[in-house]
Amino acid sequence: MTATSTDTYDQVGIREDLVNAIYNVDPVETPFLTMAPKAKAKGTLHEWQTDTYDAATDNKAIEGADATFAAANPTVRLTNITQIATKTAQISGSLEATDRAGRGREMNYQMLKQGKVIKTDMETTLVGTNKAKVVGNSTTARETASILAWIATNTSVGATGTDPSPIDGTDPRNDGTQRAFTEGLLETVIDSIWNSGGNPDTILLGSFNKRAMNAFVGRAASVASVDTPAAAKTIISSVDIYESDYNKLKIVPDRFSRARDVIVYQKSMWAVAFLRNMQPLDIARIGDAERKQIITEYTLEARNEKSSGLVADLTTS
């Protein structure tokens, strides 16, 4: 280049090169919330009933004998508390008036973003916390009992760990000594669920113990049986389905579940009940600022915890 050439270093007025898009890779998938059946709550105290059949026996009667009667087992009435979740956005008039890259109205963009965040908050509450229900009052927020406060019948816990008692959402589990996740622990829980009458279809777990499942012996045998030209060029390091002695279970990684827990559950036996569906609300302006709020009120409905189980107290590194 000659000394008289005009270049970009000397030029004034070059427009900025800003891509008209916004990229975000923060996690927003909420598998438990997405897959769970949805129900309608009609009060802050949400109630439902469970029942059991009489234990199977060698049923026989003498010919011609009179009928005998036993008292019927009453249903069990269970409750959980609705929890309010909320996010807000406040945008100044000046910001809304500017020409911004990657979005139209700033308020619309922020509300869309906060709508995704509130779902991850709900997922964390439902499967990523170990907490009992809280009735609340004028100075204390209501809280819904998470799934870990309900599962107690079919569990495998580490030393010093204990299950919720009573099984009504009032008592969180006590974490125990952590141990490695093994196929034997998983099989024990699945056996227990099946013997209790459940038909689990989903295994929910974090990334570390998803990796541990990839090393289970049963998977290694199935991969070794694959013998095709395409398979020879493919490294298979994951497993998506666990086929137990009773049924197939889908393995679902969840970024918001507790890393130390593997939840084995029957989807139809858990529901998210909404007292208020997620909705945007206009909040009164303060001076030169537009304000909105997203709000929802929900609770976890444990339709029958015997349908599900938990491998608890697992190592995470």
- The one-digit pLDDT tens for each residue of the chain (317 residues) are 566 666 666 666 666 666 666 576 667 799 999 999 999 999 999 999 999 988 899 999 999 999 999 888 899 999 999 999 999 999 888 878 787 777 778 888 888 899 999 999 999 999 999 999 999 999 999 999 999 999 999 999 999 999 999 999 999 999 999 999 999 999 999 999 999 999 999 999 999 999 999 988 765 555 555 555 555 566 666 789 999 999 999 999 999 999 999 999 999 999 999 999 999 999 999 898 989 999 999 999 999 999 999 999 999 99
The residues facing 291 across adjacent strands are: 90, 283
Structural domain contains residue 251: yes
Polymer length in residues for the chain: 317
Let me know the angle formed at the C-alpha of 121 by 180 and 160, rounded to the nearest 5 degrees: 30
- Residue 17 has what DSSP assignment? -
Taking a C-beta distance cutoff of 8 angstroms, is the pair 130, 148 a contact? yes
**What does the alpha-carbon distance between residue 266 and residue 125 come to, in Å, rounded to a whole number?**
19
Helix residue ranges, H only, 5-79? 31-35
CATH of the domain at 172: 3.90.1690
Residue 39: inside a domain = yes
The residue range of the domain holding 103 is 31-47+76-311
Q: CA distances (Å), 272 to each of 203, 216, 286, in order?
A: 18, 32, 35
Q: Residues with Cβ < 8 Å from 111, sequence gap 6 or more? A: 89, 280, 292, 294
Per the structure, the count of domains in the chain is 1
Confirm whether 6 is domain-assigned: no
Q: What is the pTM of this model?
A: 0.88
Residue 64 CB neighbour total at 10 angstroms: 5
Rounded CA separation 213/183 (Å): 7
